Structure 1
């Protein structure tokens, strides 16, 4: 592949990453949407944000199982970008809340395919020696996209509530770039069997499910640092505008981590995950005990840094442990763990705090300190006991 063609391929892949955090586009507009539908209860109102995430869980699994097999990667990517765009924009034209929720479900169809396919395309189109750097840059683009989409969603909502949905129009750019510049990854044939040793069907390594669980647990632990931050900041006299600025620094931290990830992973390998968990611990300590906005800002930046190092390390190690044809399903399992963790987090903390009679929201950060410290110790011990798995390529054994 020529250098110019590879640059265009990367442009298409990065355009897909740009919209990967699109679920948060209308978050700044929730209050404006609520004001437009005063008869809708707050829990029902939040469905405009949660329905896409719920729909994306089964979609990610189904998409991962068929990508590159019964359905081409290009077909799924184009479908995802189209659903993201159409399902995202439709609420601009309607005033029925039920229909808005239906359109958000269609938006979820696209959202569920974007993140696992984005990562799978990197493993199937980029040479192995460049994957760590590209994964880091991909993380930077993803965070920039999150900032731009949320910013536009908020600015448009200040004009009128339904204008916020127009920000999803970026999906059309992804659709066009994919249509013209994204090649179909070549199929990686499995070794043929012989009379003495018939070919075996590829099995998904147990470690992939372990990574999905680990990422799900991490998401449960850090999610209150997003959803409850404005409420915690109110206790020290900060308003919602300040909360928005504080939360923005999580994305800035994630961008910085993406910039250094490639070199860090090449030098430290899987221990990069340990660094990410360490930054998570530091962020939770600051959230648990800080009484000033600047310390909360530092905490959010550290959390964003830790999240990007953790997520990208897990993706790299998972991608290296499976046959290239298995990468879409492996990434889908990990993304599903993340989505389930985000969905369950609030319910788990509500149940625990209600049962124990705990009222302080900072309990969630105390739990985060303990939880992330436990994960850090677990992986430090695991990595000291177990040697890194050899990368799995197309020519290697057909089962794990």
Structure 2
């Protein structure tokens, strides 16, 4: 075994490479703090407060598309390191201010940090690993993403006892991640980049987005609206209906993301079992979760509904992302993935307004109303997916 092979198979190297995925979905770790934030900013609407949780998705969309250009100027390693610095600085910035606007701006810059990291959390694995090792690392990467959200949501819930501003301190986790990544990941991969560029020129490949990829992006846009809507509204449902406190909601959200993590590790088995009906299974499970949350006023039952949403979301996303390479135009996998990521983040950004639109259409401000509407829409999507599979 040569020194390079030995290095990339070293536990420390693997952990350092995977660790950057721990923070990628941590924007939603502040969801349990929404009830307290509403009290801190009485002049702001509920949607405006929920926007603080989802607005990082706006800058993630932009930086996901720009990160490749930035990395060509400063290198992949430095791009990721800059992202981790932004996560640290702007993640904890709200701790030092009482201004809603400054908090909003800091959350936008936090998303910029996520965006600089996002693409390379995947592409760096492809640079160092091939074949079954690559597939295994990709699975663990997905697991680390969910694990990070679960841990940070849980810790943020514990910090709520001291006030919502203390929940922002969870972003200090980016400091040890920065040190691990900076120390263990090499910076000089120019030869590999040149090789990739040469291959593209040699094969004269022009990247383009196929119609099915646009379909996946639109579909996941809607799915993310439903899932993030559950994430940001669940704590308010628990506290407003006196089903429990914010800490209870935080624990449920942690279990919700942890369940998604476990599902990611066993997705291969689920796919082998249900095959072409895997997507339909995920959609129907998400429909059931939304209906449960709307109809029940018992904490345990509502929590089961939320947790089921996390599991269903993991099934749907894993299935759809596995489809991208099959339906992408030749040589356009990276661009296609970026477009789908933009769709996902746009859904996350607009999730609070999805909740508001439903309330406006039905002229009903019930905080749980959107979930029965989402449930019905998902049921129709599930039935549609069954017919689609029969026609394929």
In which range does the TM-score fall when normalised by the shorter chain?
A: 0.7 to 0.9
Q: Distance in 1 between matches of 2:259 and 2:323?
A: 22
Task: Give the alignment of 1:1-400 within 5 angstroms.
Answer: 1-6=4-9, 7-30=11-34, 41-42=44-45, 48-63=52-67, 65-66=68-69, 72-94=75-97, 98-159=101-162, 161-183=164-186, 184=189, 186-187=192-193, 188=196, 189-190=198-199, 199-233=204-238, 237-241=242-246, 242-265=248-271, 271-319=277-325, 321-322=327-328, 326-386=332-392
Question: Contact conserved, 2:125 with 2:134, CA < 8 A, in 1?
Answer: yes
Question: Contact conserved, 2:256 with 2:310, CA < 8 A, in 1?
Answer: yes
3-state SS of 1:2 partner: helix
Change (3 A) 1:310 1:132: farther
Q: Distance in 2 between matches of 1:122 and 1:322?
A: 20
Q: Distance in 1 between matches of 2:7 and 2:174?
A: 24
As a proportion of its length, which structure holds more helix?
Answer: 2
Shifted more, 280-289 versus 90-99: the winner is: 90-99
Deviation at 1:97, TM superposition (A): 5.2
Shifted more, 79-88 versus 274-283: the winner is: 274-283
Question: Contact conserved, 2:154 with 2:254, CA < 8 A, in 1?
Answer: no
Other-structure match for 1:395:
none
Change (3 A) 1:225 1:159: closer
Shifted more, 211-220 versus 276-285: the winner is: 276-285
Change (3 A) 1:288 1:164: closer
Other-structure match for 1:392:
none
Q: Distance in 2 between matches of 1:324 and 1:133?
A: 24
Deviation at 1:8, TM superposition (A): 4.0
Question: Contact conserved, 1:144 with 1:251, CA < 8 A, in 2?
Answer: yes
- Tell me the C-alpha RMSD between the 2 structures: 3.4
Deviation at 1:260, TM superposition (A): 0.7
Shifted more, 139-148 versus 23-32: the winner is: 23-32
Question: Contact conserved, 2:71 with 2:79, CA < 8 A, in 1?
Answer: no
Unaligned runs of 5+ in 2: none
Q: Distance in 2 between matches of 1:360 and 1:202?
A: 46
Question: Contact conserved, 2:149 with 2:254, CA < 8 A, in 1?
Answer: no
1:103-136 superposed Cα distances (whole Å, 9 cap, x missing partner): 3332121122333432333444432434444333
Deviation at 1:238, TM superposition (A): 0.7
Q: Distance in 2 between matches of 1:279 and 1:190?
A: 43
Question: Contact conserved, 2:17 with 2:121, CA < 8 A, in 1?
Answer: yes
Q: Distance in 2 between matches of 1:14 and 1:145?
A: 11
Q: Distance in 1 between matches of 2:301 and 2:164?
A: 33
Number of equivalences:
380
Deviation at 1:318, TM superposition (A): 1.8
Q: Distance in 2 between matches of 1:96 and 1:233?
A: 27
Change (3 A) 1:106 1:221: closer
3-state SS of 1:243 partner: helix
Change (3 A) 1:165 1:16: same
Q: Distance in 2 between matches of 1:169 and 1:382?
A: 46
Deviation at 1:218, TM superposition (A): 0.9
Q: Distance in 2 between matches of 1:125 and 1:324?
A: 23
Q: Distance in 2 between matches of 1:297 and 1:28?
A: 14
With normalisation by structure 1, the TM-score equals 0.80
Q: Distance in 2 between matches of 1:116 and 1:41?
A: 34
